[in-house]
Amino acid sequence: MGASYQAVGWNRQKKQYDWILFFFCVSYLAVFIGFSLGFNPDMTFETLLIRSTSTLALLLLHVILSIGPLVRLDSRFLPLLYNRRHLGVTMFTVAAVHGGFSIFQFHGLGNINPLLSLFLSNTQYRSFQAFPFQMLGFFALLIFLLMAATSHDFWLHVLTPRIWKSLHMGVYIAYFLIILHVVLGVIQYETNPVFIWILFTGSGALVTLHLLAGGREVRKDNIHFPKAVDGFVKVCAIGEIPPDRAKVFCLGVERIAVFRVEGMLHAIHNVCKHQNGPLGEGKVIDGCITCPWHGYQYLPKNGQSPPPFTERVSTYDVRIIDGNVYVDPRPYPEGTERPGAPIDQ
Amino acid sequence: MIKPLRRTHWQVWSLLAVLLPASILAGWLMVPRPAAGTDLQPGASASLPVLLGWNDKADRMVSLRAAADTSMLQLEWVERSPLTAPSALVYAGPALLGRIGPQGVYRFSFRPTPEGRHTQITVYDIIHHKILEKINF
């Protein structure tokens, strides 16, 4: 969280994250190139680079896409999410090297523009097996470029989190294009079935993770609460909410997080203004509700970020009756101060 | 994440759960299988013992060989450099023996003609309908 925009908001965790990522990428490329040269000493530098960067980018893409559901299933994966954007930009850079060298190797030495050649050298658009697979990778790379270019918080603010998130869901289209790019490309001439099994395993693991995590979230959204009395809905017993933590309930349209802070209960909208992170899964640090994704903070009593920050979320009325917690699901305007409910010891 | 986005994620991954395995499987089934052997005659593994004649050039060496009892002839074609013609069929007289292609050794067996010992070998480019070479033994 910063009061002004910087190219990269470096801190110790981000530096560690990026160094680990850098060493992983370098080690992967070195091992891949070493093994390839061991098995085929005549392989050219361009071919080595094209193959090593393609597999590295595909591996990184699978890691990136698995972080979201992993975090939903187990909060121990949260550190991976913290700097996921750098992982994404790294993946794009590696994929761009692959794409650039491929265009140079396969289309750069003819007498027409390499980009035109990409689209005109194979025009079997009606064939599945002979479809021009390089074009699929090209369009996936364009989507990654758009995502990498807008990955900064400046664009998140300009575009609004809703549009930014929708834009970045283009990664799923890109992923599908990449799978087709591999299936209609390398799979068609590499006869070893290990490539198919790697692809099946990777995509199967991703689908399983996303459906497991998504199913869990859908079940949470579909929990039915007793009918409202005086506009208040009974959600849980006080004892179910640990100190400096929250419990989350989907009441009507959106989720509400009820926090227990310094002997009081406060209810705020569960969605962080930064990247729609789940505030209710964060904890209270220095008296502020802290988003578990990127550390954005809000005051429990009014849902406002502490000055000089200006983010605000909706607040809700909360009551305690006979040791049970009741929440009024009608939101107050963002940043409205509410008294909360004192917990009698 | 807001509820509509959660729902969209769920729908997208439900769709991908069908599309991804179907695409991979379809791609796998489409992988071209190696073409079955369509040689005009099985490749001879060894030269026949009697050398009847030869014709040597820089790019190829052609020999006519025979079995010990002369009941069978064999054309041995050693291609030393890649052919420049896209198609090269080899005939012994009017009989098609087979095709020569990249560098390597090609052996074609055939029965001697009843007319006599004279054998004419013709190499024909069927794409350009052109005789590439004639060799007389």
A204 at interface of B, judged by CB pairs closer than 8 A: yes
- Test A253 with B32 for CB contact under 8 angstroms: no
CA–CA gap between residue A288 and residue A305 (Å, rounded): 8
Residues of B within 8 A of A188 (CB-CB) are 27, 30-32
- Looking at the whole model, is its pTM more than 0.90? no
Which of A 245-274 lie inside 8 A of B, CB atoms?
250, 253-255, 271
Per the structure, the complete domain to which residue A328 belongs is given by 233-342
Asked if A298 and A257 touch (Cβ cutoff 8 Å), the reply is: no
- Test A129 with B32 for CB contact under 8 angstroms: yes
Asked if A181 and A131 touch (Cβ cutoff 8 Å), the reply is: no
Torsion (CA) A143, B30, A123, A125 in degrees, nearest 10 = -70
Q: Which of these three, A220, A252, A272, is where a domain ends?
A: A220
* DSSP annotation string for A251-284: ETTEEEEEEEETTEEEEEESB-TTT--BGGGSEE
CA distances from A131 to A16, A180, A218 (A): 42, 10, 38
Can you give the pLDDT at residue A206?
Answer: 96
Q: Which of these three, A163, A195, A220, is where a domain ends?
A: A220
Residues of B within 8 A of A175 (CB-CB) are 16
Give the nearest partner residue to B2 out of A128, A196, A276, using CB atoms.
A276
Can you give the pLDDT at residue A62?
Answer: 97
What is Dmax (Cα atoms) for chain A?
83
What is the residue-level pLDDT of chain A in tens, covering all 345 positions? Answer: 555 556 566 678 888 889 999 999 999 999 999 999 998 888 888 889 999 999 999 999 999 999 989 988 988 888 888 788 899 999 999 999 999 999 988 888 878 899 899 988 888 888 888 889 999 999 999 999 999 999 887 888 788 877 888 888 899 999 999 999 999 998 887 777 888 999 999 999 999 999 999 988 888 888 888 877 788 899 899 989 999 999 998 887 788 999 999 889 999 999 888 878 889 888 898 889 998 887 889 999 999 998 888 889 999 999 998 889 999 989 999 989 899 889 875
Residues of A within 8 A of B13 (CB-CB) are 172, 207, 210-211, 214
- Test A217 with B6 for CB contact under 8 angstroms: yes
Together in a domain, A238 and A213: no
**DSSP category for residue A18:** H
- Test A203 with B21 for CB contact under 8 angstroms: yes
Together in a domain, A336 and A238: yes
Give residue for tokens 């080899």: B90
Residue A70: which of A276, A199, A214 has the closest Cα?
A214
Min Cα distance B8 → chain A (Å) is 9
CA atoms within 13 Å, Cβ hemisphere of A221:
18
Which alpha helices (DSSP H) does A185-301 contain, by range? 186-189, 194-221
CA–CA gap between residue A119 and residue A134 (Å, rounded): 8
Residues of A within 8 A of B31 (CB-CB) are 129, 187-188, 191
The domain spanning residue A284 has which CATH number? Answer: 2.102.10.10
Together in a domain, A120 and A159: yes
The domain total for chain A is 2
The enclosing H or E element of B110 equals strand B104-110
- Test B16 with A176 for CB contact under 8 angstroms: yes
Residue A3 falls within a domain, yes or no?
no
The pLDDT tens digits of the residues spanning B96-125 come to 888 888 788 889 888 887 666 678 899 998
* DSSP annotation string for B3-63: HHHHHHHHHHHHHHHHHHHHHHHHHHHHSPPPPPP--SSPPPSS--SEEEEEEE-SSEEEE
Can you give the pLDDT at residue B38?
Answer: 56
SS3 label, residue A99: helix
Together in a domain, A156 and A200: yes
The first and second tokens of residue A268, run together, are: 């705020």
The enclosing H or E element of B127 equals none
- Test A180 with B16 for CB contact under 8 angstroms: no
Taking CA–CA distances from B17, the nearest residue in chain A reads A207
Min Cα distance A345 → chain B (Å) is 34
Residue boundaries of the structural domains of chain B: 1-30, 50-136
Give the nearest partner residue to B10 out of A128, A214, A250, using CB atoms.
A214
Residue A276: which of A89, A68, A77, A70 has the closest Cα?
A68
Together in a domain, A30 and A142: yes
Can you give the pLDDT at residue A81?
Answer: 80
Residue A270: which of A244, A288, A289, A242 has the closest Cα?
A289
Residue A6 falls within a domain, yes or no?
no
Together in a domain, A252 and A308: yes
- Count H helices and E strands in chain A, helices first: 11, 11
Give the nearest partner residue to B24 out of A128, A165, A183, using CB atoms.
A183
A196 at interface of B, judged by CB pairs closer than 8 A: yes
CATH class of B50-136: mainly beta
Together in a domain, A203 and A257: no
Residue A145 falls within a domain, yes or no?
yes
- Test B24 with A203 for CB contact under 8 angstroms: yes
∠ at Cα A201 (A198, A204), nearest 5°?
Answer: 140
Contacts of B38-47 with CB under 8 Å at 24 or more apart are B39/B98, B40/B96, B40/B97, B40/B98, B40/B99, B41/B97, B41/B98, B41/B108, B41/B109, B43/B106, B43/B107, B44/B74, B44/B107, B44/B108, B44/B109, B47/B74, B47/B76, B47/B107
Together in a domain, A200 and A262: no
Give the nearest partner residue to B20 out of A188, A207, A221, using CB atoms.
A207
- Test B23 with A210 for CB contact under 8 angstroms: no
Residue A303 falls within a domain, yes or no?
yes
Together in a domain, A32 and A174: yes
